[in-house]
Amino acid sequence: MLVAPFLSRRVRDELERAGWSYWDATGNMLLAVRDPLIMVRRAGATKDPNPSPAQAPTRLRSLKGPAASEVMVALLANGGRATTIRDFARAHALPVSTVSRVITLLREENWLEPTGGGPIIVTDRLALARRWAEDYSFTDSFTTRRYFSILGPHRAAQRLRESDLDYAVTGVQAAQAWLAGRHTAPLVPDTDLWLYTTDVEAVERVADLAPAGRDATILVAHASFLTREHTWQQDDGTRTVTPWRTVGDLLSRQGRQAAVGEALAEALISNQMSGQE
């Protein structure tokens, strides 16, 4: 058994795979005995409750916000490998301070290979995307409104395609567009419409949207990141956000949306490894 003041989720997962029991002072515990078969698990803190004083004032505590999402999308899209923090920030037109705080958090949680301040290397992109989705949410990280349209989501999307508005689709429709453009079989019906825009009111008018409750099929989020380069693309005739953002948006949900996010992430990783992306 390993005993420590605090064990991150990544360390706990690795210990469990290796067959170790563990306990930390925050209450995280796994007692695993093979003969007789006994397994006792308790959950404690997910974050280190006692960061070093030097880190405490500026330490990032979650990956929830829009700024952190831009770093995560760029990092995941980079093939799981990047140069130094400063070069990475410059390449993606992101603030060095924001990139540094996100990378520091990921290093503290052991999601990156230890390189002594050298290249930024993600050990498992799908696992990192799942970790990001624990904090991040399309509906909570951005100011999002819910709508319905008597025209239906597909006709609403068609009106947007015919307009000159600044928008990009995400969610199942974006995943389907990316996969269809690469001759991959459709996953599930795309009955919802999720999109980002820099002008929510204009989207309301063009797509003829009416406010709706929690069961709304059309979600519209205000996003300033669309003004940056390389934050959206054209897939199968649909203007979509970059696919790793779609992955994060879908993984932050449950059920079929999360399953589509997993499938899209696996396809992205497979294509990158085969040199197709």
- Smallest Cα–Cα separation from 173: which of 193, 143, 149? 193
pLDDT band of residue 80 (cuts 50, 70, 90) is: low
pLDDT digits (tens, 9 = 90+) for 136-171: 999 999 999 999 988 888 889 899 999 999 999 999
Q: Which domains does the chain have, with CATH numbers?
A: 2-42 (no CATH), 66-135 (1.10.10.10), 138-273 (no CATH)
Contact indicator for 239, 232 with CB cutoff of 8 Å: yes
Average pLDDT over residues 202-210: 94
Tokens of 34: 């093979």
Higher pLDDT residue, 50 or 29?
Answer: 29
**pLDDT at residue 57 tops 50:** no
b vs e for 184-215, b when ≥16 Cβ sit within 10 Å of the residue's Cβ?
eeeeeebeebbbbbbebebbbebbebeeeeee
Average pLDDT over residues 18-42: 85
pLDDT confidence of residue 37: 76
Higher pLDDT residue, 84 or 220?
Answer: 220
pLDDT confidence of residue 63: 95
- Percentage of residues in the chain having pLDDT higher than 70: 90
- Percentage of residues in the chain having pLDDT higher than 90: 48
CA distance 60 to 104: 8
pLDDT confidence of residue 55: 44
pLDDT confidence of residue 33: 82
Average pLDDT over residues 81-90: 84
pLDDT band of residue 56 (cuts 50, 70, 90) is: very low
The torsion region of residue 97 among left (phi > 0), alpha (psi -120 to 50) and beta comes to: alpha
Contact indicator for 179, 236 with CB cutoff of 8 Å: no
